[in-house]
Amino acid sequence: MRRRYVVGNWKMNKTPYEAQLFVEELFSVEGGLPEDVELGIAPPYPALDRVGATVGPSLVHLLAQDVYQEVSGPHTGEVSAEMLKACGVTQVIVGHSERRRYRNEHEIDLTRKIERLAEAYITPLYCVGETLGEREAGTTERALSKQMSALEAFPEAAPRGLVLAYEPVWAIGTGRSATPAMAADVHRALREMVRSFWGKEAAEKIRILYGGSVTPENAAALFEEEDIDGALVGGASLKVASFLAIARAARRTVPD
């Protein structure tokens, strides 16, 4: 059975100090962290080192929100996979719609980012999702398949530990989540694409998270869908209480 996974994408929020306070609060919650759910947090770059020292080797993964596609060199303002690794980062978000949209990132760049991560033994969390226009035009699957083509550069096997996140662009930060049925349909289609790339075992194993206005109120209904293996959470991950409520809703065992 795939282990559920809940990741908080903090985007451009929290100073290193605020990030550390969050982690300290998270680790001291009454009742502890849910044991059968993996957690991840993706602070902004300046907070990574400090958070990395606090999470240490625990079940809370440290993610970065992006990585640069080159190994090193004259790339002012960019951060390499090896630098992230040195901060304790084990996974990196690649292809978030905000970067595709505002930083003009295309599949060709995203493939190269995933290659750099693979070289550094870092797991990619690859995001895909259609715009409202694409959904309304009935071209959701075509849009996703174009985005998934960034993974065609890995014909032998999926990049180590690869996690996918389905994040419909129209649901991100809008308070308008996809319905569980809508999300589950897309997750099944993505799993089928994974099967066609790397076979049945890879498709059964891969975790596909849903992202887009997940809150403590709607999380349980989303997690009732077998094909939804967790969540990538933006706004609701900024407070320990709401992040944890979502993580608890992700438990496969019946909560007490």
Q: Which is nearer to ligand PEP, 43 or 235 (CB)?
A: 235
Tokens representing 246 are 């979502």
Decide: is 52 part of the binding site for ligand PEP (CB under 6 A): no
Binding piece for ligand PEP, criterion CB under 6 A, among 45-53, 55-63, 105-113, 209-217: 209-217
Q: What is the dihedral of CA 14, 19, 23, 24, to 10 degrees?
A: -120
Question: What is the DSSP annotation of 170-184?
Answer: GGTTTS-PPPHHHHH
- Which member of 208, 233, 244, 246 binds ligand PEP (CB under 6 A)? 233
Decide: is 8 part of the binding site for ligand PEP (CB under 6 A): no
- Which member of 40, 43, 212, 216 binds ligand PEP (CB under 6 A)? 212
Decide: is 211 part of the binding site for ligand PEP (CB under 6 A): yes
Binding piece for ligand PEP, criterion CB under 6 A, among 15-23, 201-209, 221-229, 230-238: 230-238
Q: State the nearest-atom distance from the C-beta of 98 to ligand PEP, in Å.
A: 7
Binding piece for ligand PEP, criterion CB under 6 A, among 33-41, 65-73, 134-142, 212-220: 212-220
Spatial separation of the C-alpha atoms in residues 186 and 45, rounded to whole Å: 31
Decide: is 209 part of the binding site for ligand PEP (CB under 6 A): no
Decide: is 169 part of the binding site for ligand PEP (CB under 6 A): no
Spatial separation of the C-alpha atoms in residues 146 and 190, rounded to whole Å: 12
CA angle (233 as vertex; 87, 10 as ends), nearest 5: 40
Decide: is 232 part of the binding site for ligand PEP (CB under 6 A): yes
The DSSP symbol for 72 reads: S
- The residues that bridge with 40 in the sheet, in sequence order, are 7, 61
Residues touching ligand PEP, count (CB under 6 A)? 13
Q: Give the CA distances from residue 120 to residues 13, 46, 90, in Å, rounded to whole numbers and listed in that order.
A: 26, 20, 9
Scored b (16 or more CB within 10 A) or e, 1-18 reads eeebbbbbbbbeebebee
Site for ligand PEP in 129-168 (CB under 6 A): 167
Decide: is 213 part of the binding site for ligand PEP (CB under 6 A): yes
- Which member of 4, 6, 9, 122 binds ligand PEP (CB under 6 A)? 9
Q: Which is nearer to ligand PEP, 23 or 172 (CB)?
A: 172
Give catalytic residue positions: 96, 167
Residues contacting residue 159 through CB under 8 Å, at least 6 positions apart: 114, 117, 118, 123, 124, 151
Which residue minimizes CB distance to ligand PEP?
A: 234
Burial status of residue 48 (CB atoms within 10 A of its CB: 0-12, 13-18, 19 or more): buried
Decide: is 219 part of the binding site for ligand PEP (CB under 6 A): no
Residues in contact with ligand PEP by the rule CB under 6 A: 9, 167, 172-173, 211-214, 232-236
